[in-house]
Structure 1
Amino acid sequence: MGRSKLAKFAAVAERDNVVQEGDELYGHMAGKWNELQFANENPIVLEVGCGRGEYTIGMARLHPEKNFIGTDIKGARIWKGSTMAIEEELDNVAFLRTYIEGIEEHFEENEIDEVWITFPDPRPKDRDIKKRLTSPGFLDKYSRILKPGGIIHLKTDNLGLYEYTLEVLQGKKVNNLLFTADLYNSDLQEHTMGIYTTYEKRYLAEGVPIKYLQFKVS
Protein backbone atom coordinates (compact mmCIF):
# COMPACT_ATOMS: atom_id res chain seq x y z
CA MET A 1 0.00 0.00 0.00
CA GLY A 2 1.35 3.45 -0.97
CA ARG A 3 2.32 6.11 1.55
CA SER A 4 -0.39 8.40 0.24
CA LYS A 5 -3.14 5.90 1.04
CA LEU A 6 -1.68 5.18 4.47
CA ALA A 7 -1.60 8.89 5.23
CA LYS A 8 -5.23 9.25 4.16
CA PHE A 9 -6.30 6.28 6.30
CA ALA A 10 -4.51 7.81 9.28
CA ALA A 11 -6.19 11.17 8.71
CA VAL A 12 -9.64 9.63 8.38
CA ALA A 13 -9.17 7.74 11.65
CA GLU A 14 -8.82 11.07 13.49
CA ARG A 15 -11.80 12.85 11.95
CA ASP A 16 -15.01 13.62 13.78
CA ASN A 17 -17.04 13.51 10.58
CA VAL A 18 -16.12 9.87 9.85
CA VAL A 19 -17.35 6.78 11.70
CA GLN A 20 -15.47 3.56 10.97
CA GLU A 21 -14.42 0.26 12.50
CA GLY A 22 -12.13 0.89 15.45
CA ASP A 23 -14.04 3.98 16.58
CA GLU A 24 -15.77 3.84 19.94
CA LEU A 25 -19.14 4.62 18.36
CA TYR A 26 -18.84 2.25 15.39
CA GLY A 27 -21.72 -0.22 15.55
CA HIS A 28 -23.48 1.86 18.23
CA MET A 29 -24.90 4.72 16.15
CA ALA A 30 -28.23 3.15 15.19
CA GLY A 31 -31.00 5.52 16.22
CA LYS A 32 -28.48 8.07 17.50
CA TRP A 33 -27.12 9.86 14.43
CA ASN A 34 -29.09 13.04 15.08
CA GLU A 35 -28.06 13.10 18.73
CA LEU A 36 -24.42 12.01 18.61
CA GLN A 37 -23.25 13.22 15.20
CA PHE A 38 -25.36 16.21 14.20
CA ALA A 39 -26.79 17.53 17.49
CA ASN A 40 -30.10 18.37 15.82
CA GLU A 41 -33.33 16.70 14.73
CA ASN A 42 -33.08 17.46 11.01
CA PRO A 43 -34.00 14.84 8.38
CA ILE A 44 -31.22 12.41 7.41
CA VAL A 45 -30.34 11.64 3.80
CA LEU A 46 -28.12 8.61 3.13
CA GLU A 47 -25.97 8.03 0.05
CA VAL A 48 -24.90 4.40 -0.33
CA GLY A 49 -21.69 3.68 -2.21
CA CYS A 50 -20.81 7.36 -2.02
CA GLY A 51 -17.28 7.06 -3.44
CA ARG A 52 -15.53 10.40 -3.00
CA GLY A 53 -18.70 11.92 -1.58
CA GLU A 54 -19.37 14.33 -4.42
CA TYR A 55 -23.13 13.88 -4.29
CA THR A 56 -23.27 13.88 -0.49
CA ILE A 57 -21.30 17.13 -0.41
CA GLY A 58 -23.33 18.64 -3.24
CA MET A 59 -26.62 17.99 -1.47
CA ALA A 60 -25.27 19.27 1.85
CA ARG A 61 -24.29 22.57 0.23
CA LEU A 62 -27.79 23.06 -1.12
CA HIS A 63 -29.70 21.88 1.95
CA PRO A 64 -28.24 23.03 5.28
CA GLU A 65 -31.60 22.16 6.85
CA LYS A 66 -30.90 18.44 6.33
CA ASN A 67 -28.19 16.03 7.48
CA PHE A 68 -26.27 13.90 4.98
CA ILE A 69 -24.37 10.65 5.48
CA GLY A 70 -22.21 9.09 2.77
CA THR A 71 -21.25 5.47 3.18
CA ASP A 72 -18.54 3.50 1.41
CA ILE A 73 -15.89 0.93 2.31
CA LYS A 74 -12.98 2.69 0.57
CA GLY A 75 -11.10 4.82 3.09
CA ALA A 76 -9.14 6.83 0.52
CA ARG A 77 -12.40 7.83 -1.18
CA ILE A 78 -14.03 8.84 2.09
CA TRP A 79 -10.93 10.92 2.88
CA LYS A 80 -11.76 13.10 -0.14
CA GLY A 81 -15.36 13.72 0.88
CA SER A 82 -14.57 14.29 4.53
CA THR A 83 -11.79 16.72 3.56
CA MET A 84 -14.20 18.73 1.40
CA ALA A 85 -16.71 18.85 4.26
CA ILE A 86 -14.06 20.14 6.67
CA GLU A 87 -12.72 22.73 4.23
CA GLU A 88 -16.22 24.03 3.53
CA GLU A 89 -17.27 23.84 7.20
CA LEU A 90 -20.24 21.62 6.37
CA ASP A 91 -21.42 20.45 9.78
CA ASN A 92 -24.38 18.64 8.22
CA VAL A 93 -22.15 15.98 6.59
CA ALA A 94 -20.80 12.71 7.98
CA PHE A 95 -19.31 9.57 6.46
CA LEU A 96 -19.67 5.95 7.49
CA ARG A 97 -16.98 3.55 6.36
CA THR A 98 -18.56 0.12 6.14
CA TYR A 99 -19.88 -2.51 3.74
CA ILE A 100 -23.38 -1.75 2.46
CA GLU A 101 -24.40 -5.34 3.22
CA GLY A 102 -24.36 -4.48 6.93
CA ILE A 103 -26.15 -1.16 6.66
CA GLU A 104 -28.92 -2.18 9.06
CA GLU A 105 -26.37 -2.53 11.87
CA HIS A 106 -25.77 1.21 11.73
CA PHE A 107 -29.27 2.64 11.37
CA GLU A 108 -32.49 2.02 13.25
CA GLU A 109 -35.83 1.38 11.60
CA ASN A 110 -37.43 4.62 10.38
CA GLU A 111 -34.26 6.66 10.98
CA ILE A 112 -33.58 7.75 7.38
CA ASP A 113 -35.66 10.06 5.20
CA GLU A 114 -34.06 9.46 1.79
CA VAL A 115 -31.59 7.06 0.16
CA TRP A 116 -29.50 7.96 -2.87
CA ILE A 117 -27.75 5.38 -5.06
CA THR A 118 -25.51 7.30 -7.45
CA PHE A 119 -23.62 5.59 -10.26
CA PRO A 120 -23.08 2.25 -8.50
CA ASP A 121 -21.14 -0.64 -9.98
CA PRO A 122 -23.80 -2.21 -12.27
CA ARG A 123 -22.54 -5.76 -11.56
CA PRO A 124 -23.55 -6.99 -15.03
CA LYS A 125 -22.67 -10.66 -14.54
CA ASP A 126 -25.56 -12.94 -13.54
CA ARG A 127 -23.58 -14.39 -10.65
CA ASP A 128 -23.39 -10.89 -9.13
CA ILE A 129 -27.09 -10.07 -9.22
CA LYS A 130 -27.41 -10.13 -5.43
CA LYS A 131 -24.56 -7.62 -5.18
CA ARG A 132 -26.38 -4.99 -7.24
CA LEU A 133 -27.32 -2.13 -4.94
CA THR A 134 -30.88 -2.20 -6.30
CA SER A 135 -31.40 -5.95 -5.88
CA PRO A 136 -34.42 -7.03 -3.80
CA GLY A 137 -32.22 -7.77 -0.79
CA PHE A 138 -30.68 -4.32 -0.73
CA LEU A 139 -33.99 -2.58 -1.40
CA ASP A 140 -35.46 -4.42 1.59
CA LYS A 141 -32.60 -3.17 3.76
CA TYR A 142 -33.14 0.42 2.69
CA SER A 143 -36.88 0.13 3.21
CA ARG A 144 -36.42 -1.02 6.79
CA ILE A 145 -34.26 1.95 7.79
CA LEU A 146 -36.38 4.46 5.85
CA LYS A 147 -39.32 6.25 7.38
CA PRO A 148 -42.75 5.43 5.89
CA GLY A 149 -42.96 7.40 2.67
CA GLY A 150 -39.17 7.71 2.49
CA ILE A 151 -37.72 8.17 -0.97
CA ILE A 152 -35.15 6.04 -2.81
CA HIS A 153 -33.31 7.53 -5.79
CA LEU A 154 -31.16 5.83 -8.43
CA LYS A 155 -28.94 7.73 -10.85
CA THR A 156 -26.92 5.67 -13.34
CA ASP A 157 -25.38 5.66 -16.79
CA ASN A 158 -25.99 1.92 -17.14
CA LEU A 159 -29.09 0.94 -19.12
CA GLY A 160 -28.93 -2.67 -17.91
CA LEU A 161 -29.00 -1.67 -14.24
CA TYR A 162 -31.78 0.84 -14.87
CA GLU A 163 -33.96 -1.75 -16.64
CA TYR A 164 -33.15 -4.39 -14.04
CA THR A 165 -34.23 -2.02 -11.26
CA LEU A 166 -37.54 -1.28 -12.96
CA GLU A 167 -38.16 -5.03 -13.24
CA VAL A 168 -37.40 -5.51 -9.54
CA LEU A 169 -39.81 -2.72 -8.62
CA GLN A 170 -42.64 -4.47 -10.45
CA GLY A 171 -42.59 -7.04 -7.65
CA LYS A 172 -42.41 -4.45 -4.86
CA LYS A 173 -45.05 -2.32 -3.20
CA VAL A 174 -43.84 1.16 -4.09
CA ASN A 175 -45.54 4.50 -4.53
CA ASN A 176 -45.03 7.50 -6.80
CA LEU A 177 -42.57 5.81 -9.15
CA LEU A 178 -40.90 8.30 -11.48
CA PHE A 179 -38.35 7.25 -14.08
CA THR A 180 -36.60 8.31 -17.24
CA ALA A 181 -33.92 6.80 -19.46
CA ASP A 182 -32.71 10.27 -20.46
CA LEU A 183 -32.67 12.56 -17.44
CA TYR A 184 -31.45 15.72 -19.16
CA ASN A 185 -34.14 15.51 -21.80
CA SER A 186 -36.91 14.98 -19.26
CA ASP A 187 -38.91 17.00 -16.75
CA LEU A 188 -37.29 15.17 -13.80
CA GLN A 189 -34.05 17.16 -13.72
CA GLU A 190 -35.12 19.21 -10.72
CA HIS A 191 -35.18 16.07 -8.58
CA THR A 192 -31.41 15.62 -8.97
CA MET A 193 -30.61 19.21 -7.89
CA GLY A 194 -28.16 19.96 -10.68
CA ILE A 195 -25.37 17.96 -9.05
CA TYR A 196 -22.93 16.22 -11.39
CA THR A 197 -20.29 13.72 -10.30
CA THR A 198 -16.95 13.39 -12.08
CA TYR A 199 -18.09 10.13 -13.67
CA GLU A 200 -21.38 11.67 -14.76
CA LYS A 201 -19.62 14.53 -16.54
CA ARG A 202 -17.49 11.97 -18.37
CA TYR A 203 -20.51 9.95 -19.46
CA LEU A 204 -22.32 13.05 -20.69
CA ALA A 205 -19.25 14.14 -22.65
CA GLU A 206 -19.31 10.74 -24.34
CA GLY A 207 -23.00 11.16 -25.22
CA VAL A 208 -24.27 8.56 -22.74
CA PRO A 209 -27.79 9.38 -21.46
CA ILE A 210 -28.18 9.43 -17.69
CA LYS A 211 -30.94 7.26 -16.26
CA TYR A 212 -32.88 8.21 -13.13
CA LEU A 213 -35.68 6.82 -11.06
CA GLN A 214 -37.22 7.48 -7.68
CA PHE A 215 -39.99 5.97 -5.61
CA LYS A 216 -41.46 6.05 -2.13
CA VAL A 217 -41.50 3.05 0.16
CA SER A 218 -44.84 1.97 1.58
Structure 2
Amino acid sequence: MRKKLERFSDNAERRNVIEKGKPVFEVIKGNWKKELFGNDNDLVVEFGCGRGEYTVGLAEKFPDKNFIGVDIKGARIWVGSTYAINNQLDNVAFLRVNIVQLEDYFAKDEVSEVWVTFPDPRPKDRDEKRRLTSPRYLEMYKGILKKDGWLKFKTDNTPLFDYTLSLFEDQVKIKNLQYTYDLYNSEFMDEHYGVKTKYEKLFHDQGESIKYMKFQFEKS
Protein backbone atom coordinates (compact mmCIF):
# COMPACT_ATOMS: atom_id res chain seq x y z
CA MET A 1 0.00 0.00 0.00
CA ARG A 2 2.84 2.40 0.85
CA LYS A 3 4.43 1.87 -2.55
CA LYS A 4 1.12 2.51 -4.27
CA LEU A 5 0.57 5.73 -2.32
CA GLU A 6 4.07 6.91 -3.26
CA ARG A 7 3.23 6.32 -6.91
CA PHE A 8 -0.03 8.25 -6.58
CA SER A 9 1.94 11.11 -5.05
CA ASP A 10 4.39 11.07 -7.96
CA ASN A 11 1.55 11.07 -10.48
CA ALA A 12 0.04 14.13 -8.85
CA GLU A 13 3.20 16.09 -9.64
CA ARG A 14 3.78 14.83 -13.17
CA ARG A 15 2.88 16.76 -16.27
CA ASN A 16 2.53 13.60 -18.37
CA VAL A 17 -0.20 12.17 -16.11
CA ILE A 18 -3.63 13.72 -16.63
CA GLU A 19 -5.98 12.97 -13.76
CA LYS A 20 -8.73 14.43 -11.64
CA GLY A 21 -7.60 17.36 -9.51
CA LYS A 22 -5.30 18.90 -12.10
CA PRO A 23 -6.49 22.03 -13.96
CA VAL A 24 -5.66 20.51 -17.36
CA PHE A 25 -7.97 17.57 -16.60
CA GLU A 26 -11.02 19.81 -16.98
CA VAL A 27 -10.00 21.38 -20.32
CA ILE A 28 -8.13 18.59 -22.12
CA LYS A 29 -11.03 17.48 -24.34
CA GLY A 30 -10.32 18.77 -27.83
CA ASN A 31 -7.13 20.43 -26.63
CA TRP A 32 -4.54 17.68 -26.30
CA LYS A 33 -2.24 19.18 -28.91
CA LYS A 34 -2.55 22.74 -27.62
CA GLU A 35 -2.59 22.19 -23.86
CA LEU A 36 -0.17 19.29 -23.52
CA PHE A 37 1.95 18.47 -26.54
CA GLY A 38 2.38 21.91 -28.09
CA ASN A 39 2.37 20.60 -31.65
CA ASP A 40 -0.07 19.55 -34.36
CA ASN A 41 1.07 15.93 -34.65
CA ASP A 42 -1.40 13.04 -34.88
CA LEU A 43 -2.87 11.64 -31.66
CA VAL A 44 -2.62 7.87 -31.10
CA VAL A 45 -4.54 6.50 -28.10
CA GLU A 46 -4.19 3.12 -26.37
CA PHE A 47 -7.18 2.11 -24.26
CA GLY A 48 -6.54 -0.21 -21.32
CA CYS A 49 -2.84 0.61 -21.48
CA GLY A 50 -1.91 -0.94 -18.12
CA ARG A 51 1.77 -0.24 -17.47
CA GLY A 52 2.05 1.56 -20.77
CA GLU A 53 4.53 -0.73 -22.52
CA TYR A 54 2.80 -0.31 -25.86
CA THR A 55 2.24 3.42 -25.50
CA VAL A 56 5.88 4.19 -24.76
CA GLY A 57 7.14 1.56 -27.20
CA LEU A 58 5.26 3.14 -30.08
CA ALA A 59 6.28 6.62 -28.95
CA GLU A 60 9.92 5.62 -29.28
CA LYS A 61 9.30 4.30 -32.77
CA PHE A 62 7.30 7.32 -33.93
CA PRO A 63 8.60 10.56 -32.40
CA ASP A 64 6.53 12.56 -34.89
CA LYS A 65 3.25 11.39 -33.29
CA ASN A 66 1.69 11.98 -29.87
CA PHE A 67 0.73 8.95 -27.77
CA ILE A 68 -1.79 8.73 -24.93
CA GLY A 69 -2.29 5.70 -22.72
CA VAL A 70 -5.64 5.45 -20.92
CA ASP A 71 -6.24 3.36 -17.81
CA ILE A 72 -7.93 3.72 -14.44
CA LYS A 73 -5.08 2.17 -12.44
CA GLY A 74 -2.77 4.95 -11.29
CA ALA A 75 -0.06 2.64 -9.96
CA ARG A 76 0.20 0.99 -13.37
CA ILE A 77 0.23 4.28 -15.25
CA TRP A 78 3.13 5.36 -13.02
CA VAL A 79 5.33 2.71 -14.65
CA GLY A 80 4.81 4.05 -18.17
CA SER A 81 5.02 7.63 -16.98
CA THR A 82 8.35 6.94 -15.28
CA TYR A 83 9.77 5.30 -18.39
CA ALA A 84 8.69 8.25 -20.53
CA ILE A 85 10.32 10.73 -18.15
CA ASN A 86 13.56 8.75 -17.83
CA ASN A 87 13.81 8.42 -21.61
CA GLN A 88 12.78 12.00 -22.38
CA LEU A 89 9.71 10.97 -24.35
CA ASP A 90 7.87 14.26 -24.57
CA ASN A 91 5.33 12.76 -27.00
CA VAL A 92 3.77 10.55 -24.30
CA ALA A 93 0.97 11.20 -21.81
CA PHE A 94 -1.30 9.07 -19.64
CA LEU A 95 -4.95 9.72 -18.84
CA ARG A 96 -6.28 8.19 -15.65
CA VAL A 97 -10.01 7.65 -16.14
CA ASN A 98 -12.47 4.83 -16.59
CA ILE A 99 -12.55 4.08 -20.31
CA VAL A 100 -16.35 4.28 -20.35
CA GLN A 101 -15.85 8.05 -19.87
CA LEU A 102 -13.59 8.46 -22.89
CA GLU A 103 -15.98 10.79 -24.72
CA ASP A 104 -15.56 13.28 -21.87
CA TYR A 105 -11.84 13.63 -22.64
CA PHE A 106 -11.56 13.29 -26.41
CA ALA A 107 -13.45 15.43 -28.89
CA LYS A 108 -15.14 14.24 -32.05
CA ASP A 109 -12.60 13.39 -34.76
CA GLU A 110 -9.67 14.33 -32.48
CA VAL A 111 -7.79 11.01 -32.67
CA SER A 112 -5.96 9.54 -35.66
CA GLU A 113 -5.47 5.99 -34.39
CA VAL A 114 -6.80 3.78 -31.59
CA TRP A 115 -5.10 0.70 -30.13
CA VAL A 116 -6.81 -1.89 -27.95
CA THR A 117 -4.17 -4.30 -26.68
CA PHE A 118 -4.85 -7.47 -24.70
CA PRO A 119 -8.01 -6.35 -22.88
CA ASP A 120 -9.78 -8.51 -20.33
CA PRO A 121 -11.85 -10.90 -22.52
CA ARG A 122 -14.87 -10.78 -20.19
CA PRO A 123 -16.05 -14.25 -21.30
CA LYS A 124 -19.37 -14.29 -19.43
CA ASP A 125 -22.40 -13.23 -21.46
CA ARG A 126 -23.52 -10.82 -18.76
CA ASP A 127 -20.22 -8.95 -19.16
CA GLU A 128 -20.48 -8.43 -22.91
CA LYS A 129 -21.01 -4.67 -22.56
CA ARG A 130 -17.77 -4.43 -20.59
CA ARG A 131 -15.64 -5.89 -23.39
CA LEU A 132 -13.50 -3.16 -24.91
CA THR A 133 -14.52 -4.31 -28.38
CA SER A 134 -18.26 -4.45 -27.66
CA PRO A 135 -20.59 -2.34 -29.84
CA ARG A 136 -20.90 0.43 -27.26
CA TYR A 137 -17.14 0.90 -27.02
CA LEU A 138 -16.67 0.63 -30.77
CA GLU A 139 -19.23 3.40 -31.20
CA MET A 140 -17.22 5.57 -28.82
CA TYR A 141 -13.97 4.91 -30.69
CA LYS A 142 -15.75 5.75 -33.93
CA GLY A 143 -16.83 9.09 -32.53
CA ILE A 144 -13.36 10.26 -31.51
CA LEU A 145 -11.54 8.86 -34.57
CA LYS A 146 -10.97 11.01 -37.61
CA LYS A 147 -12.52 9.89 -40.86
CA ASP A 148 -10.36 7.03 -42.17
CA GLY A 149 -8.59 6.70 -38.81
CA TRP A 150 -7.55 3.16 -37.90
CA LEU A 151 -8.51 0.98 -34.97
CA LYS A 152 -5.97 -1.75 -34.21
CA PHE A 153 -6.72 -4.64 -31.88
CA LYS A 154 -4.43 -7.34 -30.47
CA THR A 155 -5.34 -10.27 -28.25
CA ASP A 156 -4.34 -13.81 -27.43
CA ASN A 157 -7.98 -14.72 -26.76
CA THR A 158 -9.61 -16.49 -29.72
CA PRO A 159 -13.24 -16.25 -28.46
CA LEU A 160 -12.88 -12.48 -27.99
CA PHE A 161 -11.33 -12.14 -31.42
CA ASP A 162 -14.12 -14.19 -33.02
CA TYR A 163 -16.74 -12.21 -31.11
CA THR A 164 -15.30 -8.95 -32.43
CA LEU A 165 -15.25 -10.21 -36.01
CA SER A 166 -18.87 -11.34 -35.70
CA LEU A 167 -19.98 -7.79 -34.89
CA PHE A 168 -19.00 -6.65 -38.36
CA GLU A 169 -21.60 -8.89 -40.00
CA ASP A 170 -24.56 -6.70 -39.06
CA GLN A 171 -23.97 -4.61 -35.92
CA VAL A 172 -20.95 -2.42 -36.68
CA LYS A 173 -20.25 -0.89 -40.09
CA ILE A 174 -16.56 -0.89 -40.97
CA LYS A 175 -14.29 -0.97 -44.02
CA ASN A 176 -10.81 -2.15 -44.98
CA LEU A 177 -10.78 -4.96 -42.42
CA GLN A 178 -7.54 -6.92 -42.29
CA TYR A 179 -6.77 -9.60 -39.74
CA THR A 180 -4.74 -12.65 -38.81
CA TYR A 181 -4.91 -15.36 -36.16
CA ASP A 182 -1.12 -15.60 -36.00
CA LEU A 183 0.52 -12.19 -36.14
CA TYR A 184 4.10 -13.39 -35.79
CA ASN A 185 3.75 -15.59 -38.86
CA SER A 186 1.76 -13.23 -41.06
CA GLU A 187 2.14 -10.43 -43.55
CA PHE A 188 1.36 -7.98 -40.74
CA MET A 189 4.47 -8.74 -38.70
CA ASP A 190 6.00 -5.38 -39.65
CA GLU A 191 3.08 -3.73 -37.86
CA HIS A 192 4.18 -5.36 -34.62
CA TYR A 193 7.04 -2.83 -34.46
CA GLY A 194 8.94 -5.05 -32.05
CA VAL A 195 6.83 -3.84 -29.13
CA LYS A 196 5.36 -6.34 -26.68
CA THR A 197 3.19 -5.81 -23.63
CA LYS A 198 3.76 -7.82 -20.47
CA TYR A 199 0.79 -10.04 -21.31
CA GLU A 200 1.82 -10.45 -24.92
CA LYS A 201 5.16 -11.85 -23.79
CA LEU A 202 3.46 -14.08 -21.24
CA PHE A 203 0.87 -15.53 -23.60
CA HIS A 204 3.31 -15.98 -26.47
CA ASP A 205 5.78 -17.79 -24.22
CA GLN A 206 2.92 -20.11 -23.23
CA GLY A 207 2.40 -21.01 -26.88
CA GLU A 208 -0.61 -18.81 -27.62
CA SER A 209 -0.74 -17.24 -31.08
CA ILE A 210 -1.31 -13.50 -31.15
CA LYS A 211 -4.41 -12.34 -33.03
CA TYR A 212 -4.43 -8.95 -34.74
CA MET A 213 -6.89 -6.90 -36.73
CA LYS A 214 -7.16 -3.39 -38.06
CA PHE A 215 -10.04 -1.59 -39.69
CA GLN A 216 -11.67 1.76 -40.33
CA PHE A 217 -15.21 2.78 -39.47
CA GLU A 218 -17.78 3.73 -42.05
CA LYS A 219 -18.34 7.40 -41.30
CA SER A 220 -20.54 9.81 -43.21
Coarse TM-score class (shorter-chain normalised): over 0.9
Q: Which runs of 4+ in 1 moved over 6 A?
A: none
Equivalent AA in structure 2 for residue 108 of structure 1: A
Structure 1 residue 76: Cα displacement = 0.3
Matches within 5 A, 1:87-166: 87-166=86-165
**Counterpart of 1:191?**
191
Q: Gaps spanning 5+ residues in structure 2: where?
A: none
Q: Secondary structure at the match of 1:129?
A: helix
Q: Secondary structure at the match of 1:170?
A: coil
The one-character-per-residue Cα deviations of 1:119-174 (angstroms, maximum 9, x if unpaired) are 00000011100000000000000000000001001100100110000011222221
Q: Take 2:28 and 2:201, find their aligned partners in 1: how far apart are those partners?
A: 35
Q: Take 1:155 and 1:107, find their aligned partners in 2: how far apart are those partners?
A: 22
Matches within 5 A, 1:1-218: 2-171=1-170, 172-218=172-218
Q: Take 2:76 and 2:48, find their aligned partners in 1: how far apart are those partners?
A: 10
Q: Take 2:168 and 2:154, find their aligned partners in 1: how far apart are those partners?
A: 15
Q: Take 2:71 and 2:17, find their aligned partners in 1: how far apart are those partners?
A: 11
TM-score (norm 2): 0.97
Give aligned-pair identity as a percent: 51
TM-score (norm 1): 0.98
Question: 1:27, 1:105 within 8 Å by CA — same for their partners in 2?
Answer: no
Structure 1 residue 194: Cα displacement = 1.9
Q: Secondary structure at the match of 2:26?
A: coil
The one-character-per-residue Cα deviations of 1:155-214 (angstroms, maximum 9, x if unpaired) are 001001100000112222211101111111111111221211121111111110000001
Q: Take 1:14 and 1:170, find their aligned partners in 2: how far apart are those partners?
A: 46
Q: Secondary structure at the match of 2:120?
A: coil
Equivalent AA in structure 1 for residue 206 of structure 2: E
Q: Take 1:128 and 1:169, find their aligned partners in 2: how far apart are those partners?
A: 19
The one-character-per-residue Cα deviations of 1:75-122 (angstroms, maximum 9, x if unpaired) are 000000000000000000000000000000001101000000000000
Q: What's the Cα RMSD here?
A: 0.7
Structure 1 residue 35: Cα displacement = 0.3
Q: Take 2:32 and 2:26, find their aligned partners in 1: how far apart are those partners?
A: 11
Q: Secondary structure at the match of 1:41?
A: coil
Structure 1 residue 27: Cα displacement = 3.2
Question: 2:151, 2:215 within 8 Å by CA — same for their partners in 1?
Answer: yes
